[in-house]
Structure 1
Amino acid sequence: MKAPVASVHQLLRAAGHTVATAESLTGGRLAAELTGIAGASDVYIGGVVTYATELKAALLGVSERIIAEHGVVSAECAQAMAAGVRALTGATYGVATTGVAGPSSQEDKPPGTVFVGIAGPGMAAAVALELRGKRAQIQDRTCQEALTAFEQVLRREETLLR
């Protein structure tokens, strides 16, 4: 299954919206997906890879409370990362990935435990994923799932504006 990158671009462009990314376990793969299409600069502003917990706090404003209470592998952290990259860049939407690609567990969570955060005008959401496979497969599948979830958000927003 190929991620719906073209559809995401089309929906963003039609609405005059932009997106920025905040990535942890995907290490820039989501940004690469979004910039792999001609005309990407019309809708993609940029992104940050905040692999280290300290950078999630320093660059994206993920609160120490969220980190202490929920950890960085959590829905709360994913939402905060998405909101943080949106604030940092001025994008209409922020999409974030955080989780465990493996092979080791992190925060007592097994490889394949992933959260995608999406933040936009008046909304914030997180999608929990339990993925299987090797490290690269988990990273790639996370990008596909993030784009699919984001496309669904954009389609709902488009429907609400009609």
Structure 2
Amino acid sequence: MSRLLPIFGLALVLAIGPGAQALAASHGDKANARVEAERKEKDKNQRKKDKAFNRDIQYRHAIGPDVLPLGPFTISLYIDGRLTEHRVKVALQAIDTAKKTELENAKTQLYGIVYPLCLKLFEKGRPTSSDVLAFKAQVEKNVSTRFKDTIKGVYIESLL
């Protein structure tokens, strides 16, 4: 029996050897799969960030470099006994860079013109497209009254 013991031990080691190797390989495969999934998730998130960044760049190029952003304005109003909160960002496009600089220097005055009109925009709740067009026309009229020949257009960057 003492002679057979090493043979049984050797047979046992040979039987377990490939199984242990397969077990280690399966753990390695799981780790590789997890790392691969994390890498794909990072790539996906980066593509989303790149897309949002490119959309912002395209917006700026479409309107032009002479854009003066105003806001975001946060409007909190009680409408029919319920508190509603809205956010709006407005952009004014100047005729040229010198006019944009003039508008930037008078930004406080522009806030005084635009903010009351933003309040009026949300008086009845969520504005309709005709309300937004009337708002833009009124902002353009009021800013043109105060600053002659400086504004080319009024844009709404975001309306939440």
The structure where helix makes up a greater share of residues is 2
Q: Provide TM-score, normalisation by structure 2.
A: 0.29
Q: Provide TM-score, normalisation by structure 1.
A: 0.29
Q: Which has the higher contact order (CA 8 A, sep 6+)?
A: 1
Return the index of the structure with the highest Cα Rg.
Answer: 2
